[in-house]
Each structure stands twice: as structure tokens, then as C-alpha cells.
Amino acid sequence: MNFIDELYQLYRDKLTGDDEDIDVLALAVLEQLDRNDVLQLISELEDRELYNLMGLYLTDSLKRRFANDTFDHDPSKFLH
């Protein structure tokens, strides 16, 4: 059973599964992990899971970078 399956089994009857619950759970879990723990979990991912993780990281990071760049150059775009 992988890490996500274990978390799901542990919390499926305690949380509603909405975005807020998932965010709180994810942040709580990450607060308990150190760098080595995270690297260990990453090393256990299957290839497809690793590519999906990197895809999410890349798209989220680029979206934030473009949003910050746009805001830095023209704050009025966010005032309308």
C-alpha cells in the first residue's frame, strides 16, 4: 500500500474530502516530514506518479511566476 492509500484509509471516515479538508491534511502531513522523508516518498513513486508530480509542480510554479510577473508590471490588471 502506498503513502496516499494509507492516508486515505486513515482519514476517509474523518474528513469530507472537500478541497479545504484535503489542503489541511496535506499541510499537516508535510509539517511532519523532513527532507529525507520527502525524498524517500519520492523514491517510492512509480514513473507515472513521478511525472504527474513534476507536471503539477511545473504548471503551478509557472502559473505563479507569470501571475507575479504580470502583477509586478501592471497592478491595475488585478484591480478591475
**Confidence band of 6 (pLDDT split at 50, 70, 90):** very high
Lowest mean pLDDT among 19-28, 51-60, 70-79: 70-79
**Can you state the angle between helices 19-32 and 3-11, rounded to 10 degrees?**
120
Amino acid type, 16: T
Tell me the mean pLDDT in the region 14-28.
Answer: 91
Contacts of 77 (CB under 8 A, 6+ apart): 70, 71
pTM of the entire predicted model: 0.71
What pLDDT, on a 0 to 100 scale, did the predictor assign at position 16? 86
The confidence score (pLDDT) of residue 70 equals 75
Q: pLDDT band for 72, please (50, 70, 90 cuts).
A: low
